Amino acid sequence: MSGKVTFDSDRCKGCELCTTVCPKHIVLIDKSRINRKGYHPAAVQDMDQCIACASCARICPDSVITVEKF
């Protein structure tokens, strides 16, 4: 099973919780971007490695992560 992860980047506060629970270690904080709130948002570095476990989405306190399975 593979997946697609999307972030509502402008609502992400860069808390890094999602980066700690990803079993594939592909979620990271994008230091090259700053969102409207002034934070570095989370992003996925290699979407092909995503297994659609949705651990990142479940732990996100602001519900900014969507995981689609296919």
- Domains of the chain, by residue range, sit at 3-69
- Mean pLDDT, the chain, integer: 97
pLDDT at 8: 98
CA 33 – CA 59 distance, rounded (Å): 22
Confidence of residue 1 (pLDDT cuts 50, 70, 90): confident
Q: 12: which 2 tokens?
A: 């992400």
Strands 65-69 and 3-7: antiparallel
CATH architecture of structural domain 3-69: 2-Layer Sandwich (3.30)
**pTM of the entire predicted model:** 0.93
CA 23 – CA 21 distance, rounded (Å): 6
